[in-house]
Every structure is written in C-alpha cells, then in structure tokens.
Amino acid sequence: MTINHHQLKHIETVIGQMIRFDRPADAVLSAYFREHSKLGANDRHIIAETSFGALRRLLQLRALIAPDKATPRRLALVALLKIHKLNVKELGEAASAGEKEWLGQIKGKVLPASLEVDAELPQWVIERLGEQTPEQVIALGKGLAEGAPLDLRVNTMKMKRDELLGRLQADGLECEATPYSPLGIRLKTKPSLAKHELFKTGVFEVQDEGSQLLGLITGARRGEMVVDFCAGAGGKTLLLGAQMASSGRLYAFDVSEKRLAKLKPRQARSGLSNVHPQLLASENDTKVKRLAGKADRVLVDAPCSGLGTLRRNPDLKFRQNPDSVAELNAKQASILASAARLVRAGGRLVYATCSLLPQENQDIVAAFLADHPDFKLVKMDEVLAEQKIPLQMGDYLELKPQLHNTDGFFAAVLEKNA
C-alpha cells in the first residue's frame, strides 16, 4: 500500500476537524465526503480507516509525538505508520524528506509507562471505572480501541436465522451465527447492505449483538402492553415487536422527533402493525401518565455517556467529561422514576445503558431501589436462562468488548411486587 499526496492531505484535514471535538466524528466524516463527492471508494476507505484509527489511538499517538506538538499533519503521518504498518518509503512523494527523517526517529521510540496511554482512556474515565486492576483497565481499553464487527438481527416475522445465514452465504457474504443472541448474524467484512434485497424487504436490520440482548431480556410476549421508553430510531422497538409477533400494543416513546422519524421507514419494512410511536415533551409528559400501572414490560435504554460504544465512536471519551456525566446521572434517575410509574403489579422494568461507568449503572439502580421498595432486582442469570441465552452474569448484564465482542452494555431487570 502506498499513500499519495492527496490522500495524506485529506486524512490530515479530517483528523484536524475531528480533534476539535465540537461534533461527532462520524458527522465530520459524512459532511467531508459530501463536500468531496468525487472521492473514490478506495480513497474514502483509507481516509475513514486512518482518521478513526487515529482517534482510537490518539493518546498513544500524542505520546509518540511528544515533546513535539501533535498537529493534524503529524497525527496523520504517525497514524499511517502505526495503524497501516506502512514503512517510511511507502509514503513516497506524499511526505517531505524532513518528515521521513522525523518518522524514522518515531519508529523506534519507546512509549513511557502510563496507564492512560496503555489503556487509551483518559484519566477521568479510569478514575470512574470502579474497582478494577490496571491489567483489567488495559484489557478493557484495548477492547474498546478495536474496530467493531458488523452484526445483523433477523426479523423472525419474515425468516428464520438459519435460512437468512444460508441466503447471505449464497450471496458470497462470509458470516456466522452470533454466540449469544439467537437472532444475530456476524459478518466477516463490512459490505454496504442498504441496497440488499433482504434488507429492503425488512428481513434483517443492522444491530450490535449486545443491543439485541437488551431487547431479548425485556422478555416481551404476545398480547402484552410493552413500552420502549427511550426508543430513539427504534432498533430495540422492532425486536420487541417481533418478540410479540406483532400482537398486543407496543409504544415507542422519545423526546426527539428526528429520531422517531427514522423509525417510520424501518417499521414499514419490518411489517409490524403493533408499534405506536409517541413524541414526548419530557419524561413527565401526560401521555406517560395515561398508561400508569398498565404496562407489562417497560424498557428504559437511558441517555448515557456512550462510553461502551468507543469501538464505533472513539471521540466520545474526549467529548464527554465528569460534568456531562453528572448531568446525565440526574436525567437517568428522573427517566427511570418516571418510566416505573407505567409498570403494572408483577410487571418488569429494564434499565439499560451503553456505558461502563458504575455512576450511570449500578449506582442509578441502587438509588432507585432505595426509593422504590415496591420493586425488586431480578438476578440477570435467571432472566438469561428464561431467554435461553448462554451467558453467566450474576445480578446485572455487563457486556464488555474484550470478553463478549459486543459494545459495552449494562442492564438491570426490576420487577414490581405483585
């Protein structure tokens, strides 16, 4: 692989825009590709892989560049060297003689011992991870610095998983069943699937295996009343609807009109007729009060720091901070308390996040249970056994990329006393 002058310039510009951390990195990249619509597929691939790779290893790259300033240009050069394992000669005319000489010195540089750099996690995140050994922190950090696989969820209303696997393999796609979710398929590569006939007809959706497990542990059944309290674009809503075999009533609540608008075409493709999207003004909207005490299941996939999704969104560890997490904690507690009002006696409430921080997870659940003696924790192992999911977890679902090859997810199942 050789890099030309134009590719290096694009990579440098994209990294420069990303490390301002004023908007999501994927939004930066999408906007850049729209502005440079003539870029070919190979150029786009190199630019995307290198710029995201630089974000994933930003602390390491900065440490290698120090004491020099980590400019976008230097970050781009060192990223090409470290991520694509290029040698200096392969930079050809793209880099100057002085840059090549500097890179030669970087190549043999030994990094200083530092938990932050080894784990690729900022100090404030490490301090908030709870009681973990340095080895555990490094293993977690390395798992979060890897790229995520592409997982699909089969729509069981339209096809069985084994049949979908066979169809995709017949199309030349290398794939296999996911180890934990009975609905999941993991692809070996990342083809564009938006034009695939089976996607267009709603046979499958793209969804991380961990996210599928959050839907499955909700345990929605035929004929029930179920609420997805923070539905977003509806990935878990559609899973719940299929679990219910399109019967009963499934409410998809969200405070964002934009997110709910993305659910509409997905719902149409899925063939589900039991989904009722509802826009809320806030978690205390009157629409919530109308369903008080009526729901069999309520799923709260709460707004959170997203630190469990660093494989896909490596910029989040630099865009979040202790203050933003504290703000989220207040919101999480308020949303959980509001959603709890919907649960009928004997019904279940699932609290979930894509965070790894105890402050957003166990602490929120403990405070809720202290304030709501009419709810009790259901051990996660019981819930997983009910759904025939081959995982041992203890009290909570705690998925970690280095152990389960999913995003980092947390969930607790709470049951209202009958």
**pLDDT digits over 194-216, tens only?**
999 999 999 999 999 999 999 99
Active-site residue (options: 175, 230, 304, 354): 354
What integer pLDDT is reported at residue 396 of this predicted model? 98
Residue 67 scores a pLDDT above 90: yes
Query: Is 162 known to sit in a ligand binding site?
Result: no
Q: Tell me the average pLDDT across 180-206.
A: 95
Q: Is residue 397 a contact partner of residue 219, using CB atoms and an 8 Å limit?
A: no
Q: What is the pLDDT of residue 306?
A: 96
HSE-CB at 372 with a 13 A cutoff on CA atoms is: 23
Smallest CA-to-CA distance from 350 within 296, 400, 393 is with 296
Average pLDDT, whole number, for the chain? 95
Distance CA 152, CA 209 (A): 8
Does the annotation count 354 as an active-site position?
yes
Residue that wins the pLDDT comparison between 284 and 306:
306
Cβ atoms of 347 and 296 within 8 Å: the answer is yes
Whether the pLDDT of residue 241 is over 90: the answer is yes
Q: What share of the chain is helix, strand, coil (3-state, %, to 5)?
A: 50, 15, 35
Q: Which of 2-6, 20-24, 257-261 has the lowest mean pLDDT?
A: 2-6
What distance in Å separates the CA atoms of residue 173 and residue 139, rounded to the nearest whole number? 31
Residue 1 has pLDDT above 80, yes or no: no
Residue 26 is labelled as binding a ligand: no
**Average pLDDT in the 99-110 region?**
88
Joined together, the tokens standing for residue 296 give 């069999």
